[in-house]
Amino acid sequence: MKYNPKYIFKCGLEIHTQLKTKYKLFSLSQTSFGDSPNTNVSFFDLGLPGTQPKLNTEALYLGLIASKILNCQIQPYSTFDRKHYFYPDQPLGYQITQFYHPLSKNGYLKLNEKFDGVDKTINIQQIQLEQDTGKKYNDKTIDYNRNGIPLIEVITDPDFENIDQVQSFVKKYQTLVTHMSVCAGTMETGAIRVDANISVNDNSRVEIKNLGSSGEIVDALKYEYNRQIEALENGRSIIQETRNWNGKTTESSRSKEDAVDYRYVPDSELPVIRIDESMSEDIGKELPELPDDILTRLTKSLELKYAKFLLNTPELLQYYDEFNHSDKNKWIFQELLGQFSKLDKQFDSNIIPPKTLQEIINLNCPLSEKRNVVREMILNPRPLSEIYKQDSPNINIDQLCNDIINKNQHLVAKLQIQPSVLQSLIGQAMKQTRGKIHANIIKGKFIELLKL
């Protein structure tokens, strides 16, 4: 995107992230996605009089993990507050959040040129625990299944100087919380939703609500940047407001509220959260390897595209680490995954475990024969010893099958109208190898050579 040098782009984000818990933040209602409307609700979720909240400590723990991986200072004292507003998606008449004393503050996330495409440090003001709202589908239906699902809201400083930085930050954040099992990470289902606050030349900021994909974020920010420039050039002032993205333009929703409009008050029914410093240190020690550390390790022997693919595929990353033969690592991508893809099969590490793959690589036979072994194991999973006879290492299947094809051109000519002729060719090969190579491997080689 081209930026007008006379108009400086400035943006900050508020990222709402659903925590990967079994139960809601203040009740024992399930948090499963995709269930029928209003089937996962409790009396408290619906705001019935006399019901009281009880904090889900699993959500608190995930919030602490998120705070650590975003380099935030976990606060020894945090509290819950009531954010008052009247809208059908929140039957309590207020949302429980953390305004005065959030869970953590003063963090940052570094973007680097090698892994993220941009070099920038984005400062994070705070991370707060809060409950999600219901979801309005039309003028008649509100689904309260989402109401009360645990969220963290991550609030950044307005440090973004262009849209590329915004896009890289959101992508890296999504990878982080997914890898650490803090969140399911899918923007399409609403597990991560982004509000973007954008201003031009430090004029009033405009908030664009509920952007649900990387494409929406990019398109909405492009449009809003240009809209504000056009307004300023035509002598109009920028109004501080909230706008929605309709897929093509941003539309005014309401004037932007300030804190006083929400009448924040401490929640009298929820206790103070006190976090000992030693607990924060213990959480940091228990964290698994972070994505940037994994990429740094992997790129010592792999191209970045392969490293990122492994990072985003946990099962395959574990497979790769168990295999761990730097001179043969590309076999996983080019041969193993290549065969799964050609056969339209989903990768399954149990079919060809890392140890078995190494045994296949070490077979004393041509590459084409090894490929046929992999193919046969995927199509008909069973032990390698049942597919490849180790006492026939010197048989050149390529040469054998080519010789049979050349000597039987009359049979080859009949293949198009009489496919069963292929069995005759396979039979000749089996006879010459004395059955030491599995028939399906020989069949695969004929299919390859004859382009059947």
pLDDT digits (tens, 9 = 90+) for 200-244: 999 999 999 999 999 999 999 999 999 999 999 999 999 999 999
Specify the pLDDT at position 388. Answer: 77
Beta strands in 61-218 (DSSP E): 73-74, 77-78, 81-84, 94-97, 104-111, 120-131, 135-136, 142-143, 150-156, 192-200, 206-211
* Inter-residue long-range contacts of 285-291, CB under 8 Å, 24+ positions, other chains counted: 287/65, 287/68, 287/69, 287/180, 288/180, 290/69, 290/176, 290/179, 291/172, 291/175, 291/176, 291/179
Rounded distance, CA 176 to CA 215, Å?
19
Could you tell me the CA-to-CA distances from 71 to 67, 114, 127, 172, 191 in Å, in that order? 6, 20, 11, 14, 22
pTM: 0.82
Tens digits of per-residue pLDDT, 29-40? 999 888 999 999
Tens digits of per-residue pLDDT, 128-173? 999 999 988 777 788 999 999 999 999 999 999 999 999 999 999 9
**Given pLDDT bands bounded at 50, 70 and 90, which one contains residue 256?**
low
* 344 has a pLDDT exceeding 80: yes
Tens digits of per-residue pLDDT, 355-368? 999 989 888 777 88
Which helix (H) or strand (E) element contains residue 17?
strand 9-18
Q: Please, are residues 294 and 317 in contact by the beta-carbon 8 Å criterion?
A: yes
Rounded distance, CA 325 to CA 44, Å?
55
Residue 363 half-sphere exposure, CB side, CA atoms within 13 Å?
Answer: 29
**Given pLDDT bands bounded at 50, 70 and 90, which one contains residue 435?**
low
**Given pLDDT bands bounded at 50, 70 and 90, which one contains residue 450?**
confident
Rounded distance, CA 210 to CA 188, Å?
11
**Given pLDDT bands bounded at 50, 70 and 90, which one contains residue 434?**
low
* 196 has a pLDDT exceeding 80: yes
Tens digits of per-residue pLDDT, 311-335? 999 899 999 999 877 677 888 998 9
* 419 has a pLDDT exceeding 80: yes
Nearest to 243 by CA among 232, 261, 227: 227
Across the strands, what pairs with 265? 82
Specify the pLDDT at position 161. Answer: 97
Specify the pLDDT at position 451. Answer: 80
Residue 68: how many other CB atoms lie within 10 Å: 20
Specify the pLDDT at position 261. Answer: 76
Specify the pLDDT at position 448. Answer: 85
Rounded distance, CA 249 to CA 228, Å?
12
Backbone phi, psi, residue 433, to 5°: -90, 0
| pLDDT, mean of residues 273-277 | 93
Tens digits of per-residue pLDDT, 234-248? 999 999 999 999 999
Rounded distance, CA 377 to CA 440, Å?
10
Rounded distance, CA 402 to CA 416, Å?
18
Rounded distance, CA 304 to CA 77, Å?
42
Specify the pLDDT at position 260. Answer: 67
Across the strands, what pairs with 200? 9
**Cα dihedral 431, 437, 440, 446 in deg (nearest 10):** -70
Specify the pLDDT at position 257. Answer: 62
Tens digits of per-residue pLDDT, 38-87? 999 999 999 999 999 999 999 999 999 999 999 999 999 999 999 998 88
* 343 has a pLDDT exceeding 60: yes
